[in-house]
Structure 1
């Protein structure tokens, strides 16, 4: 039923390679690279499916259990369907970057720390540094979200490690050079269900936040938002940089 729903939506729009929206501030040329693969671990082949479709941001929720870094939303996930950060994300990333011929392509790996920040991030860095290509490659950006160290400690981490910013956190603004992007909970600003129009008041609140991020020369995404074709279109008009989706195939089809 979900597939039929998306197909019906897709035939309602004219599809082209890039979508240009300029309703708010500077225009963004949208493509599949503006997609953020949320809950990526639920896909049949984590990381690889989203990357091969061309999504520009991929999320990995990580859990440190002993000395092993698993991927999953909670501990139940890592026992029911064991996924490993190095095997299922980092190794495919290294392979993809090695084979990549388009030097302009970028991918953001958003690493959501579900266990305590300091030991979990230490393990993340250890795994990344097992693959020297990743520490200097401009085609990938590592951004830490979820449990984070204090902003005052950001500079103690390697320069290739960035952090997911809270635009209302003064510490994040003070350390803006270590902020990879801003993320926020859509439900803090809107109760919109992805159908019809967002109220003028809610639209103003969202636009103000988006413009604030752009004024800081950073991109922004929202989580906890509706996930359908109409939402993607509305978010593009609002100039949201990354479009959150669990539906990576319909999303990619929309931009073909």
Structure 2
């Protein structure tokens, strides 16, 4: 009898050791083998959902060195000193970024002020070439994409969502605009720029480029076809502006609204927000308020929430992580 029990126990142990590995064991083995089953060509922005945040992060050391594609393949208005401005924004799902450009000679340099400029940090190196690389990576050429129409954008979770790039021209607008247009050629020749023809027909691309700051309106209006647009004045919209000219309209929050976020917003201030937003929406234009209060935190959040609740389309933010948490 004892011998029979012993055989049963041995058989049970053998059965246990011969069972299939569990799901976590399988994953571990695949990871150890660097299996192609665990990745796909467009996973650069995997699981990142785009958010209506505008980010201005242009003073950085480098973006190219952090791009996986280089080696292996919500709007904010500041944080120009982030190490990887474009990638930081994309990692949080920020769908609108801004670059301050200064024309020196024939080169566009990036920085919030003159003292921040360096020879290495240019519009081409910090924005144009990285965006070329990212979008190319999101559009792999293979047997599976041979019949694909359209171009994927930067966000894997929402490939039809374009990234908005505001170009804040710090130097003389009429002199700077031609160089901006020229600098965008690598993106243009690949069909990455949203473009509107003279008959009003627009083709949506992975990028929407908008001139702001000293950008000359007459220079933008003269473009045909137009693939650089104009950041319209939110508080002074008129029949000049429509979606083929200005996909966005912006204004300084303080003079336009004035509520600090402390206490209760009064009806006049609330009506101002609602009116400016409604005026923009009537023209098919998205509304943005910049330079919103940043401190104290509870006041900042109150202003953000009020703008969101009353239809503002872009949340202008310096603290990208906090802004992303609002969505």
Specify the TM-score bucket, using the shorter chain as the normaliser: 0.7 to 0.9
Residues 157, 169 of structure 1: CA spacing in aligned structure 2 closer, same or farther, 3 A cutoff? farther
Q: For 1:249, what is the secondary structure of its paired residue?
A: helix
Distance 2:278 2:217 in 1: 25
User: Where does residue 58 of structure 2 map in the other structure?
Assistant: none
User: Where does residue 135 of structure 1 map in the other structure?
Assistant: 193
Are residue 244 (structure 1) and residue 316 (structure 2) matched?
A: yes
Are residue 223 (structure 1) and residue 290 (structure 2) matched?
A: yes
Larger Rg: 2
User: Where does residue 253 of structure 2 map in the other structure?
Assistant: 186
Distance 1:91 1:253 in 2: 30
Are residue 146 (structure 1) and residue 213 (structure 2) matched?
A: yes
Distance 1:188 1:234 in 2: 17
Stretches of structure 2 lacking an aligned partner (at least 5 in a row):
1-48, 56-76, 139-155, 195-203, 295-299
Q: State the 1:77 CA deviation.
A: 1.3
Aligned match for 2:181, one of 125, 135, 158: 125
Distance 1:238 1:253 in 2: 18
Residues 87, 65 of structure 1: CA spacing in aligned structure 2 closer, same or farther, 3 A cutoff? same
Q: For 1:130, what is the secondary structure of its paired residue?
A: helix
Runs of 4+ in 1 over 3 A off after TM superposition: 150-153, 167-170
Matches within 5 A, 1:1-256: 33-37=51-55, 38-79=77-118, 83-100=121-138, 101=156, 102-131=158-187, 132-133=189-190, 134-135=192-193, 138-151=205-218, 154-156=221-223, 158-169=225-236, 173-176=239-242, 177-227=244-294, 228-255=300-327
Q: CA offsets, 1:145-188, max 9 Å, x none?
A: 01122437513354211110014546x63242211210011112
- Select the structure with the greater relative contact order (CA < 8 A; seq sep ≥ 6): 1
Q: Is the 8 A contact 1:32 1:252 kept in 2?
A: no
User: Where does residue 141 of structure 2 map in the other structure?
Assistant: none
Distance 2:219 2:109 in 1: 28
Distance 2:211 2:162 in 1: 17
Residues 254, 39 of structure 1: CA spacing in aligned structure 2 closer, same or farther, 3 A cutoff? same
Aligned length: 223
Higher strand share: 1
Stretches of structure 1 lacking an aligned partner (at least 5 in a row):
1-30
TM-score w.r.t. the length of structure 2 is: 0.63
